[in-house]
Amino acid sequence: MIVDILTLFPGMFTGPLTESILKRAQQAGLIHVRLHNIRDWATDRHRTTDDAPYGGGAGMVMKPEPLAACIRAVLALPPGATAAESPASPPVILLTPDGEVFTQAIAQELAGAERLVLVCGHYEGIDERVREALITRELSIGDYVLTGGELAAMVVVDAVARLVPGVIDAESVAEESHGDGLLEYPHYTRPAVWEGRPVPPVLVSGHHGEVAKWRRRERLRRTLLRRPDLLERARAAGRLTAADLAWLAELGWPSQAPQTGP
């Protein structure tokens, strides 16, 4: 997978991309990240990339020309062309706090792409006309405001890259939190007793069936306590078995009868 990242601050990416799993994935040729400095596409003497907003108000807006030129160069589109006019073009994703909230389901979808183009917004935002002409999707990583899209782009690259086949162990991906809409079960390793706290006996019993049942129940318990919204979604999607629902009933879920019509 090729990931093109368009940013005013390419230096922000060196740490995350040159350590740990993302480093290995790139060395193995599974992902290839290319950084593009939007400022290189500014044409004036001061290499200006922002300007005051029409209509007044606080903050600065990213100018359309350098950003559009950078996007078009990365897509190899002629000036004036829109992203939609390029057949089989990669998604051009703007990282912005008013985008669709990034989820594991979106990470899975993006992991199937051959190429992604990520555009990091800065200042108060980008000129709306660039959005209309060249952006095909907008993502936010949550309901809080960052100083720019760079950290969000790193989050997206990390979450997507680990789903690219070969980057990490397939079993870890299959079992993890959010993959099937439930949180993970608690994990333990040696020693068997740590500071007076023993490991749950079932885990050292050697009964694989009992271990699997305990883990499923702990996932359901944890999801109920921490993220009941995910549990409701799993139920609505038919991902909970009769045994799951019986266990959840023991735990007191649902605490109220579901709301019916008016």
Binding residue (CB under 6 A) for ligand 6GU from 10, 16, 90, 149:
149
The stretch near ligand 6GU (CB under 6 A) out of 4-12, 32-40, 75-83, 139-147 is: 139-147
Confirm or reject binding of residue 49 to ligand 6GU (CB under 6 A): no
Confirm or reject binding of residue 203 to ligand 6GU (CB under 6 A): no
Confirm or reject binding of residue 92 to ligand 6GU (CB under 6 A): no
What's the Cα-to-Cα distance from 62 to each of 68, 116, 139, 261, rounded to whole Å? 10, 21, 18, 47
The residue count for binding ligand 6GU (CB under 6 A) is 12
Count the alpha carbons within 13 Å of 60 in the hemisphere toward its beta carbon.
12
For residues 238-261, one letter each, b for 16 or more C-beta atoms within 10 angstroms of the residue's C-beta and e for the rest, the string is eebeeebeebbeeeebeeeeeeee
Confirm or reject binding of residue 5 to ligand 6GU (CB under 6 A): no
Binding residue (CB under 6 A) for ligand 6GU from 5, 8, 95, 107:
95
- Examine residue 87 and say whether the peptide bond preceding it is cis (omega within 30 degrees of 0): no
Confirm or reject binding of residue 141 to ligand 6GU (CB under 6 A): yes
Measured distance CA(154)–CA(31) in Å, rounded: 14
Binding residue (CB under 6 A) for ligand 6GU from 11, 112, 142, 200:
142
The stretch near ligand 6GU (CB under 6 A) out of 54-62, 144-152, 169-177, 211-219 is: 144-152
What's the Cα-to-Cα distance from 212 to each of 57, 150, 190, 197, rounded to whole Å? 58, 40, 19, 22
Of residues 134 and 224, the one with the C-beta less far from ligand 6GU:
134
Q: Are 127 and 62 in contact (CB under 8 A)?
A: yes
Give the contacts of 177 (CB within 8 A, at least 6 positions apart). 183, 184
Binding residue (CB under 6 A) for ligand 6GU from 61, 140, 160, 162:
140
> In the complex, which residues of this chain contact ligand 6GU (CB under 6 A)?
95-97, 140-142, 144-146, 148-149, 152
